[in-house]
Amino acid sequence: QGLKSLVPTEFPGPDPIFGTTKPGLPATDTFLGTNKVPDLQRVFQRSDGLPVHLKRGYPDRMLYRTTMALTIGGTFYCLVALYIASQPK
Amino acid sequence: MAHQAHSYHMVDPSPWPIFGAAAALLTASGLTMWFHHKTPYLLIIGLISTALVMFQWWRDIIRESTFQGHHTPTVQKGLRYGMVLFITSEAFFFLGFFWAFFHSSLAPTPELGGQWPPVGITPLDPMEVPLLNTAILLASGVTVTWAHHSITEARRKQAIYALLLTVLLGCYFTALQGMEYYEAPFSIADGVYGSTFFVATGFHGLHVIIGSTFLFVCLLRLIKYHFTSNHHFGFEAAAWYWHFVDVVWLFLYISIYWWGS
């Protein structure tokens, strides 16, 4: 929809006093992983016409098909089960 | 390429609403089949499909907001209204069960021995595990506020510790309550005392589990740098829900555990 990509205004990093005790610390936070949001923003803003629930390709398609199989298949099973259950004994 | 001339979010076509409705149908009819015909298969399919729809729907909302930037301040305002209305509806849900409790306990019938707690019921001591549970939830309200302040001050590590502590306190509450349920000298089948106690505290416990899960998802998103110090509504919604769960417990503790003993 033409919205420009988010400029990540992420946390400016550790407390301002860092660097006095550990001079070798990198400027970006590495505690529990690095920031991958900008990469993901690039992926999800690709102009490929894919809807958001299929944007990542193969894993999204597999999950979607599994959900569809369970819900649509389940609905048919449900209708059959309810028909049988509604029969007199 | 056309650009929208408004600040609202026109979502991509999505299958999750209709699949979610189907999943609800399967869960409801699955319960019926399980109760009346002892077959759990439809219920299992219903619960799994509900979980799948929830996962993918909320995953897509994260994609639309954090990765695609669709959550403008206008959109966020709508989400705030939505969460407030949802929590209000949940408050009314609990109000019903409190009504039922006071209906039976304020005027105990002769069948109960004309007293509350009814004859034959040994209620749980409110000064034992229930008091500890009260302290746990109150502490978790403090830690979630600490986490929020840490997020707005851009202190990621501190926010992670505070939110982790909140989730752990929630799990501790659930574990203690589960133990209390197992050890209780009365069951849900023990007249209206058992019914009101276990239905009210049981639905509360379910909401603690839901709230803890919501906070846990926020913890994962916090670790993955999804939140900024200005924009973290998912976390705020989880914190509101958690405070609501805490307040409901306080009412439960005062009326059912304490006054009701």
Residues in chain A within 8 Å Cβ distance of B15: 53, 64, 67-68
Instruction: Determine the Cα–Cα distance for residues B103 and B94; give it in Å rounded to an integer.
Output: 14
Q: In Å, how far is B12's CA from the nearest CA of chain A?
A: 6
Note the pLDDT of residue A6. 44
Nearest to B67 among A33, A44, A64 (CB): A44
Residue identified by tokens 């982790």 is B164
Q: What are phi and psi of A16, to 5 degrees?
A: -60, -20
- For the structural domain made of B13-70, what CATH number should be given? 1.10.287.70
Query: Cβ contacts (< 8 Å) between B37 and chain A: which residues?
Result: 85
Instruction: Please give the pLDDT value at position A11.
Output: 45
pLDDT tens per residue across span B122-178: 999 999 999 999 999 999 999 999 999 999 999 999 999 999 999 999 999 999 999
**What is the pLDDT, as a whole number, of residue B2?**
67
Give the number of other Cβ atoms within 10 Å of residue B237's Cβ. 19
Chain B residues with beta carbon closer than 8 angstroms to that of A3:
4, 68-70
Residues of chain B with pLDDT under 70: 1-2
- Specify the pLDDT at position B236: 97
At A7, the pLDDT band (50, 70, 90 cuts) reads: very low
CA distance A25 to chain B (A): 15
Predicted confidence (pLDDT) at residue A25 exceeds the cutoff of 90: no
Tokens of B232: 């973290």
Residue B190 to chain A, least CA–CA distance (Å): 32
Q: Say if the Cβ atoms of B157 and A14 lie within 8 Å.
A: yes
- Hey, which CATH number is domain A36-86, 3.40.50.1370, 4.10.91.10, 3.40.50.800, 2.40.160.20? 4.10.91.10
Kindly state the average pLDDT of the residues A37-57. 93
Q: Which CATH superfamily is domain B72-258 in?
A: Cytochrome c oxidase, subunit III, four-helix bundle (1.20.120.80)
> A27 pLDDT band (50/70/90 cuts)?
low
